[in-house]
Amino acid sequence: MIRSAVIIIITIACLAGCTMAPAYKRPDMPVPASWPSGPAYKEISAGQAGAAAADIGWREFYTDEKLQKVIALALDNNRDLRVAALNIEKTRAVYQISWAVLLPLPNASGSLNEYRIPADISDSGEGKNVRQYNANVGITSWEMDFFGRIRSLKDRALEQYLATEHARRSVQIALIAEVANAYLALAADRENLRLARSTLEAQETSYSMIKRRYELGSSSELDLNQAKTRVEAARVDAARYTALAAMDENALNLLVGAAVPAELMADNLDAITAPKDLSAGLSSEVLLQRPDILQAESLLKAANANIGAARAAFFPTITLTTSIGTTSSELAGLFKAGAATWSFVPQVTQPIFNSVLLWANLKAAKADREISLAQYEKAIQSAFREVADTLARKGTVGDQMAAQRSLVEASSNTYRLADARYTKGIDSYLTVLDAQRSLYSAQQGLISIRLAKLSNMVVLYKVLGGGSK
């Protein structure tokens, strides 16, 4: 009879799958349904929806083989990514614990109890030693989750576990983008360094020519000093880009978590195969697939489940302690007929005097949910702004590139003409210096814009949720 009652109670408890958590409904997106439009977005305003960035693996997006190898090294060695993976293992263990307490987990125990009964309380009037062997299998203080408190806590732990998984994916996406940008920055600064060195050589050649002309009386001391200033300015730039290239390499090594082999480095941007071109699609709903948005939503769901646990705390807590076993005065007698024992101890605990605490706990749980909701909405708004900014850059960088190439060509022609006019004695050397300065600045600007275009492709892939595969 007792065994049947225990089975019935356990069955009812296991079937009681309801919780008191509010029904979860995904909040409406607090951003427009479509991307911004206007002059800055002219190249993408009529774009067609293609494959979502989240569905494009990073190896498919980054087509440069050397960069692929560098990213693979980072995924194997980066410490931040390793910590994120370990956080997943930790949170998974916490979830397994919260799930396990839903089930009645029996324990087996054995004991020896030996004591003496004095003569004045003995049935026979004589003192005696009593020895008792026990072997039992039972359940100790198992809470039957009729009101869903433990299930709500289990749901909260599950969402927190999922949040850590989404966080790991976010770390990976950010890491891949940072590695790619660091790789591109290193290539750009190495190209700037090469430009600075070639400019320095040209300036030194010009200075040597002006010096000979000065010694022959064909050039003034002012021309000589002006040429000297350009040499030293070029020398400063060469030293500056030497340092920048070294620091870029250090930054890349830190992101990768190991020294990047020299043969995987790129010396200029032209040596890097451009990533795959992407479209943002037509709807901003693609943001909902970003891992950081999914992480914020999982934390919102966890806070929602916690309200169920706070509500269930107002109701009685029903715990069960039961055991079945044998008892005998001899060890060999534990398994003889007639040695069976059992116990059945249900207990109900009803909160009475701590209602203030329970109401405060429920109020705090609801406030936590509102905080998580605000954070979720802010995450979507921030993501929308990131994509919009990147699309604005994408929509205008082509015009900037064309204009800058035209500027370099015009500056080159101006320098050629100024040098010819100076050689013929028509203009002063100051005109040549201005032309040289303008050409050098235009060449540097072209490198910067080429870097910006490649970096924009990297960032667009990142902000659209690409890089987790």
Q: What is the CATH number of the domain that holds 93?
A: 1.20.1600.10
Give the tens place of pLDDT for each residue, 123-163: 766 777 777 777 777 666 666 666 777 788 778 888 888 88
Please report the DSSP string for 311-356 in residue order.
HHTTSPEEEEEEEEEEEESSGGGGGSTT-EEEEEEEEEE---S-HH
Confidence of residue 48 (pLDDT cuts 50, 70, 90): very low
Top mean pLDDT of 21-35, 51-65, 371-385 is at 371-385
133 in a structural domain: no
321 in a structural domain: no
Total domains in the chain come to 1
Give the tens place of pLDDT for each residue, 395-415: 899 999 999 999 999 999 998
Report the pLDDT value the prediction gives residue 96, as an integer from 0 to 100: 65
8 phi and psi, to 5 degrees? -65, -45
291 in a structural domain: yes
Report the pLDDT value the prediction gives residue 64, as an integer from 0 to 100: 95
Report the pLDDT value the prediction gives residue 45, as an integer from 0 to 100: 45
Confidence of residue 209 (pLDDT cuts 50, 70, 90): confident
**Burial degree of 433 (CB within 10 A; 0-12, 13-18, 19+):** buried
* 243-259 b/e (C-beta count within 10 Å ≥ 16 → b): ebbeebbebbeebbbee
User: Is the model's pLDDT at 50 over the cut of 70?
Assistant: no
1 in a structural domain: no
Mean pLDDT of 37-60: 73
Share of the chain above pLDDT 70, in %: 82
Beta bridge partners of 349: 317
Q: Identify the domain containing residue 27 by its residue range.
A: 18-102+174-314+363-463
Report the pLDDT value the prediction gives residue 8, as an integer from 0 to 100: 47
Give the tens place of pLDDT for each residue, 420-430: 888 887 887 78
Give the tens place of pLDDT for each residue, 346-364: 777 777 767 788 888 889 9
For residue 33, which of 266, 297, 389, 285 has the smallest C-alpha distance? 285
User: Is the model's pLDDT at 389 over the cut of 80?
Assistant: yes
Give the tens place of pLDDT for each residue, 270-292: 999 999 988 877 788 889 989 99
For residue 258, which of 66, 71, 67 has the smallest C-alpha distance? 71
Q: CA 383 from chain center: how many Å?
A: 13
Report the pLDDT value the prediction gives residue 332, as an integer from 0 to 100: 63
116 in a structural domain: no
71 in a structural domain: yes
For residue 391, which of 9, 83, 42, 16 has the smallest C-alpha distance? 42
154 in a structural domain: no
322 in a structural domain: no
Report the pLDDT value the prediction gives residue 345, as an integer from 0 to 100: 66
Report the pLDDT value the prediction gives residue 387, as an integer from 0 to 100: 93
Name the pTM for this structure.
0.81
